[in-house]
Structure 1
Amino acid sequence: MSKEETGMVGFEIVAFAGEARSKLILALDEAEKKNFVKADELMAEANASLIEAHKSQTQMLAAEARGETMEIGFIMVHAQDHLMTTMLLRDVMKHLINVYRN
């Protein structure tokens, strides 16, 4: 994969992870208002976005496993950082929403 191709996958990952991050923040806002139905919906939507981001990441992992050469640039590094921090945020938000729920 060329640097341009990996950069495009990186942009996909950033877009999906960014969408998930926004929904996670909104979910916490809804939990603070005791609107747990909406909070749960937003958590599910965020998770769906993270799954899409992970699919994009898996494309690259599979290509490299097949022996394809990967030219990784800063965009992909940024994308991986964005994805992993958003996955961590999801885990934290689950716990925070449960605190508001109880």
Structure 2
Amino acid sequence: MQDLQSISKEELGMIAFEIIAYSGDARSKLLEAVKQAKQKNMENCEKLISEAKQCLTDAHRSQTQMIAAEARGENVEVGFITVHAQDHLMTTLLLKDIIDNLLDIYR
């Protein structure tokens, strides 16, 4: 893990883009999992769900870097990219919860 004491605005932006990318990948995998469930291909569905969960874990790991810096008292400049990243992550987490319940019907 990098030293967050010297984290720059550019580095924060890169972390935000990581969150966006991981969340976007998770979202795509979750939506594809529903398609696979509709086609009764539960093995592929479960594989996609597992992959989506790993993407969300990676997004959380990136998010934690920013939270830890702020918790240490560092001034973390929150820009639009960071807000966008948080929005991506939170809506994908909500989608995961909804899809988990929806897939119970197909299981």
> TM-score under structure 1 normalisation?
0.94
Alignment match, 1:70: 76
Gaps of 5+ in 2: 1-6
Name the structure 2 match of 1:37: 43
Aligned residues: percent identity?
57
Distance 1:45 1:70 in 2: 30
Identify which of structures 1 and 2 has the higher relative contact order when contacts are C-alpha pairs closer than 8 Å and 6+ apart: 1
Show structure 1 runs of 4+ deviating over 3 A.
none
Note the residue ranges of structure 1 that are not aligned, 5 or more in a row: none
- State the number of aligned residues: 101
RMSD: 0.9
What is the TM-score when the length of structure 2 is the normalising length?
0.90
Deviation string, structure 1 residues 28-68 (Cα, Å, up to 9, x no partner) = 00000111111111000000000000000001111111111
Task: Please tell me whether residue 55 in structure 1 is matched to residue 61 in structure 2.
Answer: yes
Residue pair 1:3, 1:72 contacting (<8 A) in 2 also: no
